[in-house]
Amino acid sequence: MSDEVRRLSEELARDPSSLVFMQLGEALRRAGQLDLGLKVAHRGLERHAHNADAHDLLARIRVDRGELQEAFDEWDMVLRLAPAHVGARKGMGYVLFKQGKLAEAEKHLSTAATHDRGDSSIATALRMVRRLLRYAHVAGHGNGAPGHAELVAAQRRVEEEARLLFADILGEGEHTALLLNADGLVAAGLYVTADGEDVSQEVGAALTGVRDEALRAVRHLDLGVWKAVVYETELATIALAPAIDESMVLVAAGRSVPLGFVRRVLDRCVQRATTWLEEVA
């Protein structure tokens, strides 16, 4: 048991009617203790049945448990209690997306984006849904709502388009490029090792904190807005630059590749990523 969970549990035991159950439930959710988190949320709702954020907590736990319809129903309750609740709109959009109901997902995510323009994860999800919708309609030749086959075709097209987004810029050289979203997940590009293994997601996960470190350094030194960071190691040069929606472009090249060339490739990849993302704004 973590110190945070222990502290919150003790506080809730002292005052069972306290709203601290929401903090405890969230801490348990983040720790992967979903069954216990579910119990805490349910017990809290017995005392606070009309608390929208408590229902939102329960919905997020349900999602993590894979109980999508139950999560959707909880978020529906949240909107009845708090019609402007952004988290509920975002969550319902996610569930509808997973269920293949793209048009409905787009409506909820669009509403969420309107109410919270600062949440880059909403903007990223909305762009993805709109791209899939566009390609699904193309696959169905615009004849009514797209069916399962059209959605599958759209998903394949998006995946292939994302994988090859920087291919013509990179050519056959000893370098690669990735587009990472605000959560550090690979949104486009490919990172293949010398033995042919795709390690894109692993690289993205390893670099999750790099942008935050760059931002902290820039703020500490009062250097203004960061535009690029370059790391040089014995084996490679890695260049990073920000793109829209708090995403980030990474270009990696062998040490034999001139630094100026790496920077030019980075600039072109940032421009390509920005254009691609803005296509469905």
The CATH number of whichever domain residue 34 belongs to comes to 1.25.40.10
The rounded distance, in Å, linking the Cα atoms of 88 and 104 is 14
The rounded distance, in Å, linking the Cα atoms of 58 and 43 is 11
The rounded distance, in Å, linking the Cα atoms of 31 and 56 is 18
The rounded distance, in Å, linking the Cα atoms of 164 and 119 is 27
- 99 shares its domain with 176: no
Identify the residue whose tokens are 């630059």. Answer: 241
In a domain, 156, yes or no: no
- 133 shares its domain with 220: no
- 11 shares its domain with 131: yes
- DSSP 8-state symbol, 194: T
Give the pLDDT confidence score for residue 281 in this predicted structure: 63
In a domain, 143, yes or no: no
Predicted model pTM: 0.75
- 24 shares its domain with 132: yes
207 to 171, 180, 194, 239, 256: CA distances (angstroms): 24, 9, 20, 12, 23
Give the pLDDT confidence score for residue 175 in this predicted structure: 81
- Strand arrangement of the beta sheet that strand 229-232 belongs to: 186-190, 175-180, 248-254, 236-242, 229-232
Give the pLDDT confidence score for residue 1 in this predicted structure: 67
In a domain, 257, yes or no: yes
Q: How many domains does the chain have?
A: 2
Give the pLDDT confidence score for residue 28 in this predicted structure: 96
- 9 shares its domain with 100: yes
In a domain, 94, yes or no: yes
* H-state helical runs in the chain: 3-14, 20-30, 34-47, 52-64, 68-81, 86-98, 102-115, 120-139, 148-163, 167-170, 200-206, 210-221, 259-278
Q: Could you give the 3-state DSSP secondary structure of residue 181?
A: coil
- 115 shares its domain with 172: no
Give the pLDDT confidence score for residue 211 in this predicted structure: 67
166: nearest Cα among 158, 153, 157, 175 = 175
Give the pLDDT confidence score for residue 3 in this predicted structure: 86
Per the structure, the complete domain to which residue 233 belongs is given by 164-278
The encoded tokens of residue 263 equal: 């920077």
Below-70 pLDDT ranges, the chain: 1, 141-142, 194, 208-211, 281
- 133 shares its domain with 32: yes
